[in-house]
Amino acid sequence: MNEGRVADPSVAAGVDSVVVLDCGSQYSQLIARRVRELNVYSELLPFDTPWSEIAARKPAAVILSGGPASVYEAGSPHPDPALWTGGVPILGICYGLHLMAQALGGEVVSFSRKEFGPAVVTVTGSDRLFAGLDPQQSVWMSHGDSIERLPAGFQPTASTGSTPYAAVADPERRLYGIQFHPEVVHTPHGREILRNFVVEIAGARQSWTPANFIASSVEGIRSRVDEHSRATGTDGRVLCALSGGVDSAVAATLVHRAVGDRLICVHVDHGMMRKNETELLRTAFEQLGVPVIVVNARERFLRKLEGVTDPERKRHIIGNEFIRVFEDEAAKLGQIDFLTQGTLYPDVIESATSVTEKAAAKIKTHHNVGGLPEDLSFQLIEPLRYLFKDEVRAVGTELGLPDSMVQRQPFPGPGLAIRIIGEVTAERLDTLREADWIVIDEIKAAGLYRSVWQSFAILTPVRSVGVMGDGRTYGNLVAVRAVTSEDAMTADWAKLPYEVLARISSRIVNEVPGVNRVVYDISSKPPATIEWE
C-alpha cells in the first residue's frame, strides 16, 4: 500500500478531518489547502480509495475534486459507490458534481455551451452553502459537461446564463454540488462557500491549529521512540540532517521537544551555503538548546567539483558526496535508530499515484541535501509528512524558531554550485556569496523578501569590458534573479522597483571585487527554470 494513503495517527487524533478525493484535477491539492486554512485537517486521497478506508478516518465530510474526464466515458474515475450512502456530507466540485448527479440517478451530458473562465452565478434559493453571500457571485468555471437531469431529492440552488445547475443541493442528505471552482483565487468568495460547507453544514470543528499539531505530533514521536527503545533495549537515538532550510529546522525542533538530547543534529557544510548561513543555523539552534554537529566538508566537495561544468554532473556529485559525508558522520555516532526528515505533504502526494501517472520529462535532478540515502538502516520519522509549506512555517513560528529561519526563501540542495555557471572554485564561490548577500540585503531593506518567492545572484562565465576610475576593467558578469511564484512549478520574474535594482547593481559593482556588470533576468518559468542550472 502506498504510504501516502495512511493517516498519521499523531496528526489525525482528536481533530476533525475532511477527505478530498482526487479525481485528477490540477486543483485537488489546493482544495485540501483551502480546507486547512479553515483550521480543519484535510487529506487528499486517490478517487478509488475504498469506502472502508475513508470511513475509518471518520471524516466530517468528503469533497470530490474536479477532473479532466467525463463521467460517461468508459474508464473515467469513479469512487466506491458505498460513498453515496455512507451518511457523510459530500461536496462535489465540477467533475465531482457530475459524479454525484450520475451516481444518484441524474444525467450528465456533453454541454454545447462550455464554460471556461470567469462567470457570474445567481443564487436562486436560500441554500446554506451560500449563507451570508450576495445573490450574485463571481466564480471560476472550467467545464465541458453539464447536468441534464437532476437526481431525485436535489434542487438547483444557483444558475448562470448558460446552466440552471451551477449549484445543486439535497440538504436532507447533506449532498451538495457546484459546477464552479471555489478553491481558486478567481472565485473571490470561494473560501466562504467552503467554510459554509465544512464548518456550518458538515459541522467540522476548527481544531487544526499549529499548537494542536505540535502537541499531538510531539506525543506521537515520543511514544514511537519510547516503544522502540523498550522493545529493542536501545536508547532510541534520532539523527537529523539540518540543511539550514525551514523544513529540516522545524522537523528537528519537533523531534527535540519529543526526545530531548536523544536527538543528534548534523549539518554538513558543503561550502555551497550562502553568507553566514552555517553560523546562523548553529546560533539559532543553540538558542533553542539543540546542539548541532557542524561538519566542515568544504574542501572535500570542492575537490570533487574540480573542472566540472555540466549542471547535472554537479548535482550528482554534490548529492552523492553529501550522502558519503553523512554516512561517515553517522558511523562515528554509534547506535542510531531513527532518521528525521523534513518531507512535506506535496512530496507525499506526488509519490502517491493519482489518476494520470505523470510521465513528465526530467528537467533536473533535485537533491535534497539533508536528504536520505535510501539504503540506510534507520527508521524514518517524518513529522511534516502531512503539512503544506505555509503550515510548516506556522508551526515553526509557534515552536519559537526565529523569523530569519522560518520565513527563509527556498534554497536548492546543491546550493550556490548551481548558481555558478561553469566551474565551481573557492574564489568564484566567494564572489557569488558576496553578490548574493547584497541582493538579499536590498530585497529585505525594500520590504520585499516575503513577497518574492526567491531572490538571488548568479555568477556567469561571461566577462565584459568596463571602466572604473580612469582604468579599463575586464570583469565578471553577475545576473540577478527574483521571481514570484505559488509553488515553484510556474514562476514570473518579479517586477522589482527600478530603485531597488539600481541599488543592487551599484552595490555589487562597488563592493564585490572582480564584478563590473550586473544584469536582471526577466524570464518566466516556463520556458526558463528558476535556477540557472
> Measured in Å, how far apart are the chain's first and last C-alpha atoms?
36
- Find the shortest distance in angstroms from Cβ 197 to ligand XMP: 33
The piece of 25-33, 183-191, 395-403, 410-418 that touches ligand XMP (CB under 6 A) is 410-418
> Stretches 111-119, 147-155, 372-380, 523-531: which one binds ligand XMP (CB under 6 A)?
523-531
Active site residue 189: no
Query: Which stretch of DSSP H or E encloses residue 259?
Result: helix 246-259
278 and 269 Cβ atoms separated by less than 8 Å: yes
Residue 181 annotated in active site: yes
440 binds ligand XMP (CB under 6 A): no
Nearer to ligand XMP among residue 103 and residue 528 (C-beta): 528
Contact with ligand XMP (CB under 6 A): which of 217, 278, 368, 460? 368
When asked if residue 244 is in the footprint of ligand XMP (CB under 6 A), the reply is no
CB 408 within 8 A of CB 456: no
Coil, helix or strand at residue 169: strand
Cα(374)–Cα(377) distance, integer angstroms: 9
Q: Of 344, 71, 337, 135, which is closest to residue 227 (Cα–Cα)?
A: 337
Is 137 or 454 the residue whose CB approaches ligand XMP more closely?
454
The b/e string for 277-291 (b: 16+ C-beta within 10 A; e otherwise) is bbebbbebbeebebe
Beta carbons within 8 Å of 47's beta carbon, 6+ residues apart:
21, 22, 23, 24, 64, 67, 77, 78, 79, 355
DSSP E strand boundaries for 213-333? 238-241, 263-269, 292-296
Q: How far is the CB of 487 from ligand XMP (least distance, A)?
A: 9
Query: How far apart, in whole angstroms, are the C-alpha atoms of residue 158 and residue 176?
Result: 12
503 scored as a contact of ligand XMP (CB under 6 A): no
Please report whether residue 367 would count as binding ligand XMP according to CB under 6 A: yes
Binders of ligand XMP among residues 249 to 288 (CB under 6 A) are: none
Q: Pick the binder of ligand XMP from 205, 230, 366, 444 (CB under 6 A).
A: 366
CA distances from 378 to 239, 240, 326, 335, 374 (A): 9, 11, 13, 10, 10
Q: Which is nearer to ligand XMP, 138 or 529 (CB)?
A: 529
Q: Which stretch binds ligand XMP (CB under 6 A): 6-14, 287-295, 359-367, 427-435?
A: 359-367
Considering only residues 216, 454, 460, 516, which one is a binding residue for ligand XMP as defined by CB under 6 A?
Answer: 454
Q: Does 413 interact with ligand XMP (rule: CB under 6 A)?
A: yes
Residues 290, 252 contacting (CB under 8 angstroms): yes
- Taking the C-alpha atoms of residue 449 and residue 82, their distance in angstroms, rounded to an integer, is 49
- CA dist list (Å): 266 to 235, 242, 366: 18, 6, 21
**Position 36: which residue type?**
R
Shortest separation between residue 365's beta carbon and ligand XMP, angstroms:
7
Considering the complex, state which of residue 199 and residue 418 has its C-beta at the smaller distance from ligand XMP. 418
Taking contact as CB under 6 A, which single stretch among the options 32-40, 190-198, 411-419, 502-510 is the one that binds ligand XMP?
Answer: 411-419
Q: Which stretch binds ligand XMP (CB under 6 A): 63-71, 187-195, 290-298, 407-415?
A: 407-415
Is 316 near ligand XMP (CB under 6 A)?
no
Q: Per CB under 6 A, does 529 bind ligand XMP?
A: yes
CB of residue 354 to ligand XMP, shortest distance in Å: 20
Q: Which residue has the cell 448558460?
A: 162
Q: Which candidate in 43, 98, 143, 181 is catalytic?
A: 181
User: Chain-centre distance of CA 326, in angstroms?
Assistant: 25
Smallest separation, CB 458 to ligand XMP (Å): 11
- In the complex, minimum distance from the CB of residue 371 to ligand XMP, in angstroms, rounded to a whole number: 8
Number of residues that bind ligand XMP (CB under 6 A): 16
Kindly state the cell numbers that stand for 134: 450576495
Q: Which of 228, 324, 364, 389 binds ligand XMP (CB under 6 A)?
A: 364
Interface residues with ligand XMP (CB under 6 A) are: 315, 363-364, 366-368, 410, 412-414, 454, 488, 525, 529-531
